[in-house]
Amino acid sequence: MPADALNSALLPAGLHDVLPSEAAHEAVAVERLLAEFAAHGYRRVDPPLVEFEENLLSGAGAAMAKQTFRVMDPHSQRMMAVRADITPQIVRIATTRLLNEARPLRLCYAGPVLRVNGTQLRPERQFTQVGVELIGAVEPEADAEVILLAVQALTAIGVPHLSVDLCVPKMVERICAGLGRPDDEVRQLRAALDRKDVAGVAEVGGPAATLLETLMSASGPADRAMRALTAVELPEEAELDRRRLTAALAVMRAALPDLTVTIDLVEHRGFGYQTGLSFTLFSRDVGEVGQGGRYHAGANKERATGFTLYMDYILPAIPVVPAPARVYVPHGTPWAASGKLRADGWVTVAGLAPVADAAAEAKRLLCGHRLADGVVHPVE
Amino acid sequence: MSADTSALRTPANDASVTDRLVLALPKGRILKELRPLLSHAGIIPEPAFDDDKSRLLHFATNIPNLSIIRVRSFDVATFVAFGAAHLGVAGNDVLMEFDYPEIYSPLDLGIGKCHLAVAEPAEMIASDDPTRWSHVRVATKYPEVTKRHFAARGVQAECVKLNGAMELAPTLGLCRLIVDLVSTGSTLKANGLEQVEHIANVSSRLIVNRAAFKTRPEVSQWIDTFREAVNAHQA
């Protein structure tokens, strides 16, 4: 083994420093999203980074168990877990400390999460999640509200070519259960459906495979998919999902007629705890930018829905908000004079010592302007 | 100015860039079988595509926003998984090995048929009892498929990754077993090997990137076009 010295800049895989301009870019986008959520009545909460393992990984959190870092708490001598997903924390807050708040409860959040494994496609192990949860609402209007809010917020920060893909992660399971198919068959079907592998589904055969093949080939633009979904006979277990989908889609259509909506009736991967109507948000330019859906919150199984947006996917897709112009303020400028500039919207960069060539110094410090004799001059 | 702006680039506004589609095709044997399907689908690559001397890797077609890249079969899956190519043709052996969640394989093209199998030197088979194995060493291009296959029957597989000429490994004592594609079995036979287990049937699939499938209606249209081509071809 070559004995290379460890470079002090090296970070563990999947972790990185966010440098100037990129960090500001993210902060501005996160603030803008949160402002949009707040404008729709969602109030911000901020849970801690680390919690007791058994709390964080119960209920909705169980899906992330394999992706969660654990540490021993020397203080309580109990295992703690670093959050890999914020939603379970919001659920805990809503169903414990905010148990007596009026329903429906609208909460939003933003913060970093840490995951054990990156994937080849997403090597990041730490990234920022921004999202909302709407707890204690059973109406299809609630489903439509969170989807419309996600679209509205993403549009506000400039994510181009948005589309929403609707799905019901438990649909396949419900159809198979309704038709009384054995577990083994369901597993095989699930694996083939996850790859949209028509040949694989046909190979399994049986009544469920025939129905699922129809649903799979109907996946696509919402109108076409809904026509196909209306035409098939579904087991009772799946019927409620169809009604909810139809109702929520109608509300969405009325609000945003031009929104691109697709339906994928056999989608399932990536939805760890969602049980009902769910959705994935896509931007044609960067792929998936967030997802959400209906789930049961807490021990009392309160009906809830919500979504999470991934900032690491969103940032490359959105335009940078230009930072305010920087002005170099030479050494010895009175505090009040530079304060006046800041009040006028400039970013001031103070000279800490006198310099011979103020223009060159301004340029070196990435300032487009400099202050001289009480007047702001552009630097060529 | 500095390198920290990589995440800040604004998306290309140029419609010709964002609207283009890239089809990734594997080099070699499959390509020959694929040509009739391409023609039936109305895709005519530029002449350089058929010129063996051409060093080009990226080819235009008669369809303005569709281009073709020609890469190794394993790389087809990688290009499509990352969305660098939107459509591709890959065997399910490759898809099983990578198992990228971002790849959909909506259509079996019915070409490139063969199977994945475990093979062993013929003279060892008589003296070997596979039920007694707890650990095997296998030479293969498919370490993930191999590990999964053996793990499912409670055997730990130590894989020696080779990129070709797998059949040499047992004869030279590198390992006892190989996992490889078998079509007629003549290569195995010529090297004194015999198939002992069948892992999976293999054929070429039309694959698409998940995000492209969900956001680009023309991807679904191409799937339909290829489906018609396959039906016409098999009829």
Q: What is the pLDDT of residue A335?
A: 94
The pLDDT > 90 percentage for chain A reads 69
Q: Is B28 part of any domain?
A: yes
pLDDT band at A232 (very low <50, low <70, confident <90, very high): confident
| Predicted confidence (pLDDT) at residue B6 exceeds the cutoff of 50 | no
- State the average pLDDT for chain A: 92
Consult the annotation and say whether A87 binds a ligand: yes
Q: Is B6 part of any domain?
A: no
Q: What is the pLDDT of residues A169-195, one digit of tens each?
A: 998 888 888 888 898 888 889 988 988
Q: What is the pLDDT of residues A335-379, one digit of tens each?
A: 999 999 999 999 999 999 999 999 999 999 999 999 999 999 999
- Using an 8 Å CB-CB cutoff, list chain B residues near A163: 214-215
Q: How many domains does chain B have?
A: 2
pLDDT band at B14 (very low <50, low <70, confident <90, very high): very low
Q: What is the pLDDT of residues B111-128, one digit of tens each?
A: 999 999 999 999 888 888
Q: What is the pLDDT of residue A268?
A: 85
The DSSP code sequence of A275-341 is -SSEEEEEETTTEEEEEEEEEEETTTTEEEEEEEEEHHHHGGGSPPPPPPPEEEE-TT--HHHHHHH
Q: What is the pLDDT of residue A323?
A: 84
Residue A223, C-beta contacts closer than 8 angstroms, at least 6 positions apart: none
B33 to chain A, any CB pair closer than 8 A? The answer is no
Q: Is A216 part of any domain?
A: no
Q: Are the Cβ atoms of B10 and A270 closer than 8 angstroms?
A: no
Q: If you average pLDDT over residues A47-66, what whole number do you get?
A: 91
Q: Is A132 part of any domain?
A: no
- Using an 8 Å CB-CB cutoff, list chain A residues near B217: 220-221
pLDDT band at A40 (very low <50, low <70, confident <90, very high): very high
Domain around A353: 326-378
A356 to chain B, any CB pair closer than 8 A? The answer is no
A198 to chain B, any CB pair closer than 8 A? The answer is yes
Let me know whether B193 and B139 are in one domain. yes
Q: Are the Cβ atoms of B10 and A280 closer than 8 angstroms?
A: no
| Predicted confidence (pLDDT) at residue B7 exceeds the cutoff of 60 | no
Residue A275, φ and ψ in degrees, nearest 5:
-120, -35
A283 to chain B, any CB pair closer than 8 A? The answer is yes
Q: What is the pLDDT of residues B58-81, one digit of tens each?
A: 999 999 999 999 999 999 999 999
- Using an 8 Å CB-CB cutoff, list chain A residues near B220: 220
Let me know whether B215 and B99 are in one domain. yes
Q: Are the Cβ atoms of A25 and B220 closer than 8 angstroms?
A: no
Q: If you average pLDDT over residues A219-244, what whole number do you get?
A: 88
**CA-CA distance, A278 to A305, in Å (whole number)?**
8
Q: What is the pLDDT of residues A143-164, one digit of tens each?
A: 999 999 999 999 999 999 999 9
- Using an 8 Å CB-CB cutoff, list chain B residues near A265: none
Say which of B1, B83, B92 has its CB closest to residue A287: B83
pLDDT band at B4 (very low <50, low <70, confident <90, very high): very low
| Predicted confidence (pLDDT) at residue A313 exceeds the cutoff of 90 | yes
Q: Is A193 part of any domain?
A: no
Q: Is B37 part of any domain?
A: yes
The DSSP code sequence of A194-245 is HTT-HHHHHHH-HHHHHHHHHHHHH-EEHHHHHHHHHHS---HHHHHHHHHH
Instruction: Count A/B contacts: CB-CB distance under 8 Å.
Output: 85
Q: Are the Cβ atoms of A315 and B8 closer than 8 angstroms?
A: yes
Q: Which residue has the tokens 């998306």?
A: B11
Consult the annotation and say whether A86 binds a ligand: yes
**CA-CA distance, A111 to A260, in Å (whole number)?**
29
Consult the annotation and say whether A246 binds a ligand: no
| Predicted confidence (pLDDT) at residue A251 exceeds the cutoff of 90 | yes
Q: Are the Cβ atoms of B205 and A197 closer than 8 angstroms?
A: yes
Q: Is B31 part of any domain?
A: yes
Q: Can you give the CATH number for the domain in which B195 is found?
A: 3.40.190.10
Residue A256, φ and ψ in degrees, nearest 5:
-130, 85
Q: For residue B205, how many C-alpha atoms fall within 13 Å in the half-sphere facing its CB?
A: 25
- A60 three-state secondary structure: helix
A305 to chain B, any CB pair closer than 8 A? The answer is no
Q: Are the Cβ atoms of A285 and B11 closer than 8 angstroms?
A: yes
Let me know whether B214 and B195 are in one domain. no
| Predicted confidence (pLDDT) at residue A233 exceeds the cutoff of 80 | yes
Nearest Cα residue in chain A from B11: A317
Let me know whether B33 and B149 are in one domain. no
Q: Are the Cβ atoms of A21 and B4 closer than 8 angstroms?
A: yes
Q: If you average pLDDT over residues A240-256, what whole number do you get?
A: 95
Q: Is A338 part of any domain?
A: yes
Let me know whether B210 and B108 are in one domain. yes
Q: What is the pLDDT of residues B87-96, one digit of tens each?
A: 999 999 999 9
The one-character DSSP state at A5 is P
Are the C-beta atoms of residues B77 and B13 closer than 8 Å to each other?
no
Are the C-beta atoms of residues A63 and A84 closer than 8 Å to each other?
no
- Using an 8 Å CB-CB cutoff, list chain A residues near B106: 196-198
Q: What is the pLDDT of residue B1?
A: 36
**CA-CA distance, A55 to B176, in Å (whole number)?**
49
Q: Is B1 part of any domain?
A: no
| Predicted confidence (pLDDT) at residue B12 exceeds the cutoff of 60 | no
Residue A287, C-beta contacts closer than 8 angstroms, at least 6 positions apart: A313, B83, B210, B211, B215
Let me know whether B175 and B230 are in one domain. no
- Using an 8 Å CB-CB cutoff, list chain A residues near B211: 282, 284, 287-288
Q: Is B5 part of any domain?
A: no
Q: Is A364 part of any domain?
A: yes
Q: Are the Cβ atoms of A282 and B107 closer than 8 angstroms?
A: no
Let me know whether B146 and B47 are in one domain. no
A 49-88 → B contacts, CB under 8 A: none
Let me know whether B189 and B207 are in one domain. no
Nearest Cα residue in chain B from A217: B106
Sign of the C-alpha dihedral, residues B37, B30, B58, B222? Answer: positive
Q: Are the Cβ atoms of B215 and A260 closer than 8 angstroms?
A: yes
Consult the annotation and say whether A129 binds a ligand: yes
Are the C-beta atoms of residues A108 and A132 closer than 8 Å to each other?
yes
Say which of B83, B105, B215 has its CB closest to residue A195: B105
Q: Is B2 part of any domain?
A: no
Let me know whether B46 and B125 are in one domain. no
- The interface predicted TM-score of the complex, written ipTM, equals 0.85
B213 to chain A, any CB pair closer than 8 A? The answer is yes
Residue A69, C-beta contacts closer than 8 angstroms, at least 6 positions apart: A81, A82, A84, A114, A115, A116
Let me know whether B28 and B63 are in one domain. yes
Q: What is the pLDDT of residue A131?
A: 98
Q: Is B153 part of any domain?
A: yes
pLDDT band at A2 (very low <50, low <70, confident <90, very high): low
Q: What is the pLDDT of residue B193?
A: 93
Let me know whether B75 and B92 are in one domain. yes
Q: If you average pLDDT over residues A277-297, what whole number do you get?
A: 93
Q: If you average pLDDT over residues A1-20, what whole number do you get?
A: 85
Q: Are the Cβ atoms of B220 and A282 closer than 8 angstroms?
A: no
Q: How many domains does chain A have?
A: 1
Q: Is A356 part of any domain?
A: yes
- Using an 8 Å CB-CB cutoff, list chain B residues near A283: 215
Let me know whether B228 and B178 are in one domain. no
Q: What is the pLDDT of residue B18?
A: 64
| Predicted confidence (pLDDT) at residue B5 exceeds the cutoff of 50 | no
Domain around B154: 114-200
